[in-house]
Amino acid sequence: MQPDSALYRARRRRVIEEMGEGVMVIATAPEVPRNRDTHYPYRHDSYFYWLTGFNEPEAVVVLVAGKEPRHILFCRERNEEREIWDGFRYGPEAAREAFAFDEAFAFDTLDTELPKLLENQPALAYVIGREMAWDTRVMGWLNTVRGKARGGVQAPTRLVDARVWLDEMRLVKDGHELALMRRAAEISTGAHRAAMRAARPGGYEYEIEAELLSAFRRGGAEAPAYTSIVASGANACVLHYVFNNRPLADGDLLLIDAAAEFGSYAADITRTFPVNGRFSPAQKDAYELVLAAQAAAIDAVRPGNHWNSPHEAAVRVLTQGMVDLGLLAGEVDGLIESNAYTRFYMHRTGHWLGMDVHDAGEYKLHGEWRPLVAGMTLTVEPGLYIRPADDVPEAFWNIGIRIEDDVAVTESGCEVLTSPPKTVAEIEAWMTP
């Protein structure tokens, strides 16, 4: 996707206005060596990219607020030799032009230029504490400026976590972001459809993972948004199972938590379905309980409700269902109060979703769950995980179910972005072509 420099410049202008004064410095992610001259796949820093649309490593954005706002980029210089090996680099001048910056400098000049930009500024904002090496470097610049005190130069006296502004702004998505998220959701939906069709007793979890990865790339996604979970049978009760190496057995459920990243935005989908295409009676009962919990939670995603409303709705339905299925005994209110339900449902019902799968943004404001507002994007992902135990009916042993969709809060409710087959009837029909 071509950079839309005006959109990124408008974001930076908003940040500068919110800051009012001082300097913000945001670096992109470093390249991470895997061994010798091989690197892990490169992924830019989400804050940096949200502000710039620029995806080369070794880059820093500096925003100067106040009477004379400035948008400044540091990036790598052109280098014929390196470009033969690694590919195109903009270089400061072309990047300044293409990404709508006022000034651009070579990345190598960061340690000489940055202290100058901090002189006589009241405040410095950066992402504090994420990377020790970066913290040390920032302190070095501050000390350089302090060293000029006798010449009448003042160093910033306030250090501010840039997340204060950036997280809040990233939390509410604009139209451009929602369009990218719809596409990530669409590609991921297609991948789940393909995976359901590919499952069969005797196949392997990794064969299903291969279907997912293939569909992501064929759809134009850069990468999976997170490591794919393809968990059959008892593995579905391991929340972060990623070995994906077990044979699929007749009669097992298969839980797939996998989704793509497109245009730097993540989807996050889970579906659970029978390997042989038909739910057993116990699997169906457990599945429809999670489905009902998800429907109640999605219904609770609307302006006027707060962050925890969907979770509270899901927990109530699930706890009642645990009693009805004979997994728990007692009064629903008491079982919720005492957290007894967490034996079978031990995670929360969702998280913010965006450039990061667990996206930026506070969940509480001033000690209270924050209200939902249009443009927020989140997952709704109730589950039920039943490990074998003497006090659990045997028909439910090793059943692990999660159903996860992505939703965007709208003015009147929410838009569900993801749509692989979900009801028992839809899944069984899709798996029996």
* Beta carbon nearer to Mn ion, 244 or 379: 379
Catalytic residue chosen out of the listed positions 240, 366, 390, 411: 240
Active site residue 385: yes
Please state the closest distance from residue 186 (CB atom) to ligand GLY, in A.
Answer: 18
Measured CA to CA, the distance from residue 100 to residue 239 in angstroms comes to 44
Is there a contact between 345 and 315 (Cβ–Cβ < 8 Å)?
yes
Q: Which amino acid is at 12?
A: R
Catalytic residue of the set 70, 246, 351, 387: 351
Q: Which amino acid is located at 401 in the chain?
A: I
Residue closer to Mn ion, measured from CB, 199 or 259: 259
**374, β-bridge pairs:** none
Kindly tell me which of 183 and 192 has the beta carbon lying closer to Mn ion. Answer: 192
Active site residue 39: no
Binders of ligand GLY among residues 354 to 413 (CB under 6 A) are 357, 381, 404
Q: Which is catalytic among the residues 45, 252, 257, 356?
A: 257
The residue written with tokens 């804050």 in the block is 47
CA nearest neighbour of 298 among 129, 393, 417 = 417
Rounded to a whole number of angstroms, the minimum distance from the CB of residue 357 to ligand GLY is 6
**Binding residue for ligand GLY, selected from 257, 261, 359, 406, defined by CB under 6 A:** 257
Angle (CA) 274-275-278 rounded to 5° is 45
The active-site residue out of 193, 343, 347, 348 is 347
Which partner in Mn ion, ligand GLY, none is near 113 (CB below 5 to 8 A by kind)? none
Considering CB distances under 5 to 8 angstroms, the limit depending on partner class, which of ligand GLY, Mn ion, none binds residue 226? ligand GLY
Q: Does 268 bind ligand GLY (CB under 6 A)?
A: yes
The residue among 45 and 381 lying less far from ligand GLY, judged by its C-beta, is: 381
Residue 405: name its binding partner from Mn ion, ligand GLY, none (Cβ under 5 to 8 Å by kind). none
Catalytic site includes residue 366: no
Nearest distance from C-beta of residue 301 to Mn ion, angstroms = 14
Phi, psi of 346 (to 5 degrees): -105, 5
Q: Distance (Å, rounded) from C-alpha 433 to C-alpha 429?
A: 7
8-13: long-range contacts, CB 8 A cutoff, minimum separation 24: 8/51, 8/52, 8/53, 8/99, 8/100, 9/71, 9/100, 11/50, 11/51, 11/169, 12/51, 12/52, 12/61, 12/63, 12/71, 13/69
User: 406's torsion region: left (phi>0), alpha (psi -120 to 50) or beta?
Assistant: beta
Nearer to Mn ion, 121 or 232 (CB): 232
CA 114, 117, 120, 124 torsion-angle sign: negative
Is residue 44 among the annotated active site residues?
no
Does residue 135 carry a catalytic annotation?
Answer: no
Binding pattern to Mn ion, positions 229-258, x when CB under 5 A? ----------------------------x-
How far apart, in whole angstroms, are the C-alpha atoms of residue 59 and residue 70? 17
Closer residue to ligand GLY (CB): 252 or 406: 406
Helix segments in 60-131, DSSP class H? 80-86, 92-98, 110-118
Residues 183-242 within binding reach of ligand GLY (CB under 6 A) = 226
Q: How many residues bind Mn ion (CB under 5 A)?
A: 4
Nearer to ligand GLY among residue 226 and residue 345 (C-beta): 226
Q: What backbone torsions phi and psi does residue 193 show, to the nearest 5 degrees? A: -60, -45
DSSP 220: T
Is 402 annotated in the active site? yes
Q: Which residues contact 57 (CB under 8 A, 6 or more apart)?
A: 28, 29, 30, 31, 42, 44, 76
Nearer to Mn ion, 211 or 268 (CB): 268
Number of residues counted as binding ligand GLY (CB under 6 A): 7
- Least separation in angstroms between CB 337 and Mn ion: 26
Active-site entry in 268, 356, 359, 405: 268
| 255-274 binders of Mn ion (CB under 5 A) | 257, 268
351 is catalytic: yes
Question: Which SS3 state, helix, strand or coil, does residue 258 take?
Answer: coil
- Annotated active-site residue 126? The verdict is no
Is residue 86 flagged as an active site residue?
no
Q: What separation in angstroms does the CA of 222 have from each of 2, 94, 408, 418?
A: 15, 25, 22, 18
Q: List residues near ligand GLY by CB under 6 A.
A: 226, 257, 268, 351, 357, 381, 404
Q: Catalog residues that contact Mn ion under the rule CB under 5 A.
A: 257, 268, 379, 404
For the annotated catalytic residues, the residue numbers are: 37, 240, 257, 268, 347, 351, 358, 381, 385, 402, 404
